[in-house]
Amino acid sequence: MTDYNIHVWRQAATDKPGYMERHRVTEISDDMSFLEMLDVLNESLQVAGKEPIAFDHDCREGICGACSLVINGQAHGPETTTTCQLHMRSIQGTDIYIEPWRAAAFPVLKDCVVDRRSFDRIIQAGGFVSVNTGNAPDANANAIVKEDAETAFDSAACIGCGACVAACKNASAMLFVSAKVSHLAHLPQGNSERKERVTSMIETMDEEGFGSCTNYGECEAACPKSISTENIGVLNREFVRAKVGSTT
């Protein structure tokens, strides 16, 4: 059992100033998840008649990516995983600093909850295929090279948590956007809208206020799904092809 000093960001609303608030939690098991520790803290705050800390979470299984927290300066904490899968035994020291994602495109809604709808708008701009699916197609109807299928699957593993943005000094969304573009670029279903997709998604990314990529690689290091920065190369090639009219 360990006692911790929790320094957490508090902010009542987007247009209100924020500040760090200190709390003490005691007898925290090393086997607790980080979010369970926050649950314990919130229970103690509620018992004391105080406002609990607002933070995002949903599945708590490392699938949805909602649990977006910067812990001691690292997106999702010291392990390459989502915050909900981070255990207290991984935390070094007894002082923990908890903050929301820091990006102009991710405004703080309350405390550690940020508005990530900018990602949704990027997807709406082109991260889909416009086809009438009807019944499930036969498994052999579209022959896909195994290497392409695996690359598409690896890119599709992106859960859109935003850790790449939080880790990047420029708050760039290039890893997220490139994963979505690369996923469909490697599948025959994505060919018909290939040029429009990459152009509209990049334009929307810029309109949302994300920064540019300067190849530091912090995004890949922070990604809980190990999305490769090779996807950014795919994105750049797709964009150039869309602009010069190449079909290869």
122 lies in the same domain as 204: yes
Number of domains the chain is built from: 2
pLDDT at site 139: 66
Render pLDDT for 109-168 as a digit per residue (tens, 0 to 9): 999 999 999 999 999 999 888 877 677 767 677 778 889 899 999 999 999 999 999 999
Burial code (b: 16+ CB inside 10 Å, e: under 16) for 3-23 equals: ebebebbbbeeeeeebeeeeb
106 lies in the same domain as 146: no
Q: How confident is the model at residue 246 (pLDDT cuts 50, 70, 90)?
A: low
78 lies in the same domain as 160: no
Which stretches of the chain are assigned E, i.e. beta strand? 2-10, 19-28, 70-71, 74-75, 95-99, 108-110, 113-114
20 lies in the same domain as 126: no
Range of the domain at 32: 2-110
Coil/strand/helix, residue 23: strand
231 lies in the same domain as 178: yes
User: What pTM was computed for the model?
Assistant: 0.90
pLDDT at site 107: 96
Render pLDDT for 82-111 as a digit per residue (tens, 0 to 9): 999 999 999 999 999 999 999 999 999 999
Q: Are 214 and 170 in contact (CB under 8 A)?
A: yes
* Averaged confidence pLDDT in the chain: 93
61 lies in the same domain as 149: no
DSSP-assigned letters across all residues of 184-211: HHTSGGGSTTHHHHHHHHHHHHHHTT-B
DSSP assignment letter at 135: S
126 lies in the same domain as 142: yes
HEC string of 78-98? Answer: CCCCCHHHCEHHHCCCCEEEE
In the listed set 110, 135, 169, which residue is the last one of a domain according to the structure?
Answer: 110
pLDDT at site 119: 97
Q: For residue 192, is pLDDT > 90?
A: no
Mean pLDDT value across residues 77-85? 94
Q: Are 103 and 210 in contact (CB under 8 A)?
A: yes
164 lies in the same domain as 81: no
Q: Which residues pair with 211 in a beta bridge?
A: 172
Q: For residue 240, is pLDDT > 90?
A: yes
The CATH number of the domain holding residue 160 is 1.10.1060.10
Residue 26 burial (CB count, 10 A): 10
Q: For residue 177, is pLDDT > 70?
A: yes
The answer to which of 144-148, 169-173, 182-186, 208-212 has the lowest mean pLDDT is: 144-148
8 lies in the same domain as 106: yes
In the listed set 94, 110, 126, which residue is the last one of a domain according to the structure?
Answer: 110
Render pLDDT for 47-76 as a digit per residue (tens, 0 to 9): 999 999 999 999 999 999 999 999 999 999
159 lies in the same domain as 50: no
87 lies in the same domain as 133: no
pLDDT at site 247: 52
pLDDT at site 133: 67
63 lies in the same domain as 92: yes
Instruction: Please report where in the chains the tokens 């890119």 appear, as a residue.
Output: 155
